[in-house]
Each structure stands twice: as C-alpha cells, then as structure tokens.
Structure 1
Amino acid sequence: MVYNSIRAKMVQEILSRLEEVFPDRLELKFSSPLELLVAVILAAQSTDKKVNQLTEKLFKKYRSCQDYLKAPLEELERDISSINYYKNKAKFIKSACQQIMERFGGQVPDSMEALTSLPGIGRKSANIILYNAFGKNEGIAVDTHVLRVSQRLGLTREKKPEKIEQDLMKIVPREQWGKFSNLLVLLGRYICTAQKPKHQECPLYDLCPSREL
C-alpha cells in the first residue's frame, strides 16, 4: 500500500507536467463516435498519421453505418487498401456497422460491454472510444507507448497490457484515466521512444528511474 501511495503521488506530478507539454486528445482525427470507431479499427498495426491520410477522404464518402453497409465489401476494401490488413479491417467495419444498426439503433454504444461485443473492438479500443468520444472513464487504454512509458517510470512491474491497466487504475484517479492514457501516448511517441529516448527533452527526466538507461 505504501508503494501504491508513493506511485499515486508521482502520478499527479506526471499529469501536471505532461499537461503543460501535450494536449489531452488523440492524434486520430474524427468528428463523431462512428468516425472514431472506424479510425480505431484502421489504426491497428498502423500509424495515426497514415490513418488520418486515409480517413480524410473516407469520412467524406462514408458518413453513417448505412453508407458502410450499402457499399460492397470489395469497394470498401479498395477504399482502405493503403492500410495494413485492409481486408480484415473492411470486414470488421462492415460487421460492426451491421451490429450497431441491429442492436443499438444505429448509434455507437457507449458502454464497455457493448463496445467490446463489436468486431474489431477490444478493451483498449473501447477505452479509447469511451473517453474520447463520450467522455467516459471506464479504464486506461494501454497501447505500446503506455506500456513502455509506465514501465520505464516504475509505475508497474507487469508486462501484459491487461495487468498494467489494473496497476495503473489503482494509482491514477478515475476521472483522469483517459487523460493519463492520451498524455502517455504522446510522451511515448515523441520523447520516450522505444529506441534512443530523448532524455534531455523529457519533462519527467528527474522523476524517471530509467533515465540512465
């Protein structure tokens, strides 16, 4: 408990410093829950930059679940063929839209249970959608950046995303779960990189037990 108390105090300092450097938002571009859901599906094994380049045109053509369902699978595949695993992702998008129409009245659901029942949406993706589209904190999205940064900061000793999430949820106040994930993603993407982290640019340098690595 003492260990968690120390880490909880550290978390508040981390949040305070990162908020001065990064915005509390995704780099994925979207203007509706459906757009974010599609973008999140497309982002698996790809970069936000590449997804944004694709969706700039895609979201002008497909504005509703009906639009995705009307298009033949082969057409949607062509429209997203610049992205990795586009055939599987096209199937996920169409299946998710079908279920949204049949089970949720055409509206992207705003609960963890409902979102994770959709094809292509796991817990991490659901956390991203819930916070960034609906302002709900149901968990902490642990992607590769959050995993790496939280380990380097000594906030967790776990290696699996689901266990890391549980550790972080114990020390980050619930109302800050989504923000915490967004900020750590940006820190990991631009400063605390996997290779050659930019220690001298890091606002958390003096707090980080891994700074000499």
Structure 2
Amino acid sequence: MTKKERFDKVFPILEKKFGKAKAALNYETPFQFMIAVILSAQCTDARVNIVTKELFKVVKNPEDIRKMDIKTLEEYIKSTGFFRNKAKNIKLNAQMMKEKYNDKLPRTIEELLVLLGVGRKTTNVILGDLWNIRQGIVVDTHVKRLSNLIGFVESDNPEIIERELMKFVPKKYWFEYSHYLILHGRDKCVARRPKCLECEINKYCKHGQKLINK
C-alpha cells in the first residue's frame, strides 16, 4: 500500500469521526488567538483556555499588551509553564507588530515568522484557523508520532515530516490532517497506552497491524 493509498483509507475515517475541524482555543480577536497559540506550547489547550478567560478580559489587541507591566502578564500566564519566556516574547511581539505591521496580524508565513515566539508550527496554526490559508502542515508531537506509527513517514524531524506529508496529502486537507491526528492522538493513539484494538484505523496503521498480528 502506498502512502497515498493509506491516506485515502485513513483520512475519511477520521473525518467522519471528528467532523468539521475547528480550534480548541478560545479567542475573539486574531491577536488573542496568536497569544493563545504561544501559550499552548508545552501546555494543554484546556489550561490555556482557563488562563485566557481572565487575560482576555483586559487584552484584546497589541496595545493592551504594550501597556501591561510584564510582571502582571507573568501572573496571568504563570500556570501555562515557561511563563517568563512566554511573557517576554508576547511583550516583544506586541512591540514588533506596531513597528512592522501597524498592529495588524500578517497573513504569510514569512511575515509571521518575524514575530518572536512564533515558529513554523505556530504560523501554520494561525493561518489555518484564522483565515483557512494553507501554506504548510502543522507538525506537533501528536502529528509527528502518529504520522510515523501509521506509516506515512519515517523521521523525527518536523521539517522533514512536513515536506513528506505535503507530497501526498492534498493541500485542501493540510489543516484538517493535523487537526484529526491531534484529536486521535488524545483519544485512541495515546502515547503511553495506545488503544490499538479499539482503534478505528487499525487496519491501515502499520503499528496497529503489528500489534494485532502478534
């Protein structure tokens, strides 16, 4: 079975299971969403939503962050982990948005990567969620792990994984592919205790078939 043939079997099953792809992070403005994505590094979406529920009462746009003392920002986001570095990046990010983009969030990978705390994974999330722009595939820990287990790639390098996936995943599904694998990684393909016998895609998963055959 080729990678494309495997994808054509797996994707419709996950699409039927999870339905329309949408962000798990809560926000009202594009700038708020970027902050939420930055905070989500090494942190659960559920925890980020708890934190931003209070933070976003006073932060709507970059100007609100520029006016906020960094210690105050750190207190708001403390429970997301690595809060000092995140607060520093968010503050510098807000300043750079004023200097470079007139406080409007840009819509290209190249422009977004200029902002501190915004890596390639973050840019793909922002572009896909906010504007349905597909310039790449989000490769987080779930996508990396599941893409290898299913048999789509053989690499631990996110950039290589993204390039390989883009060869056979249709561009119109780039955002959904990542979204479904993340959800499936939380539901059935859990890192420490994968539920392979219960998994909906086990017939088309290399790892799942190995375990079932044993």
Instruction: Give TM-score, length-normalised by structure 2.
Output: 0.93
What is the number of residues matched between the two proteins? 209
Q: Report the counterpart of residue 137 of structure 1 in structure 2.
A: 134
Q: Report the counterpart of residue 187 of structure 1 in structure 2.
A: 184
Q: Report the counterpart of residue 17 of structure 1 in structure 2.
A: 13
Q: Report the counterpart of residue 8 of structure 1 in structure 2.
A: 4
Q: Report the counterpart of residue 97 of structure 1 in structure 2.
A: 94
Kept in 2, the 8 Å contact 1:149–1:184? The answer is yes
Shift of residue 159 of structure 1? 1.5
Q: After alignment, is 198-207 or 140-149 more displaced?
A: 198-207
1:176 aligns with 2:173: yes
Tell me the alpha carbon deviations over residues 6-56 of structure 1, each in whole angstroms, 9 at most, x when there is no partner. 211221222211111114122222233212110111011111111111111
Q: Match of 1:21, SS?
A: helix
**Deviating runs (4+, > 2 A) in structure 1?**
none
Q: Match of 1:101, SS?
A: helix
Q: After alignment, is 7-16 or 50-59 more displaced?
A: 7-16
Q: Report the counterpart of residue 41 of structure 1 in structure 2.
A: 38
Shift of residue 98 of structure 1? 1.1
Q: Report the counterpart of residue 78 of structure 2 in structure 1.
A: 81
Kept in 2, the 8 Å contact 1:92–1:119? The answer is yes
Sequence identity (%):
37
Structure 1 unmatched runs, 5+: none
Looking at structure 2, the residues matched to 26 and 14 of structure 1 have their Cα atoms a distance apart, in angstroms, of: 21
Looking at structure 2, the residues matched to 141 and 15 of structure 1 have their Cα atoms a distance apart, in angstroms, of: 16
1:65 aligns with 2:95: no
Shift of residue 199 of structure 1? 1.7
Q: Match of 1:203, SS?
A: coil
Letter in 1 for 2:110: E
Q: Match of 1:192, SS?
A: coil
Looking at structure 1, the residues matched to 107 and 198 of structure 2 have their Cα atoms a distance apart, in angstroms, of: 37
Instruction: Give TM-score, length-normalised by structure 1.
Output: 0.94
Closer/same/farther in 2, CA of residues 58 and 201 from structure 1, 3 Å limit: farther
Structure 2 unmatched runs, 5+: none
